[in-house]
Structure 1
């Protein structure tokens, strides 16, 4: 089976069908006409939602028309899917495409899961990006980016005055399918969720 860039959320709902259902963004699914399917994945209960949203006219058409005086009318279609599954005593959501993340209720997402995964999995000498919020400075957010990577200590994170909201780097963990299949490190971004972005050197 091929791997694909996936955003994985850990959910703070019971690992039951009712719990999984409560983690869905029901108004969004209803307004978009998306269908909910009950499924079984490796012997555990799961819910599958997928669909597309058509736009007859993209929002940027007016900008181009205003700049050029030309008639610009182009539509587009966005798609996505979400698979919610119970694994042992936890519930998870796998989100795909442009729309997948909107199918999951934000309040049902464990906000520390992605960071906790990144702290354990990323190579400490190859951290590419850190995003943090500073306490008591009017909500200031800082993003430090080092394309070639550097040790996490070089980012100078203050343990008492900063909240780290995202860490991006590489991992070479053979327990991950993409690393095992390619034999290479893969880029992972840890925020609300750990998101993989394919294998890279």
Structure 2
């Protein structure tokens, strides 16, 4: 089951490594599946980026085609794509959301939808933190908290990074131990080229 951000009435972006057959919209608590605000759809089509490489984490972008069009309500809404494609300024505070684990010592994911405020760091700092294991490319962006354990965890992969009200990134990968200050969290950055790819695949007018 997948609970991700929606960019149109029938398309949802996620990461290529995330596999699901259904999408739930408007759901706040996993334990309350009878919530009247819940809208569930089957995934009728999955489109992963043609150059996706799981080992290198590059081009980690996927589109999920819903079996029907979602109804926009107080609980379900679309998120805006970037209007500009400049890198988000380091120090900017953005928002992530998901049902991922909140504690490395607890295997279960969160019951209720959680969100966190995270701070964008510059590309060079992020690349230096990952240089021993993963090459950080220009179509990635990173967040890190020096004095906090805020960040994403297992169960959050494919979720949104929202900056200034716009979808700027998709949660991609992070340190082995999430919720720690051991390394930067990494996102697929919605660049101009990625937006062209999304528009082409969804037949979306620019």
Q: Does the alignment reach a TM-score above 0.5?
A: no
Greater strand content: 1
Q: TM-score, normalised by structure 1?
A: 0.27
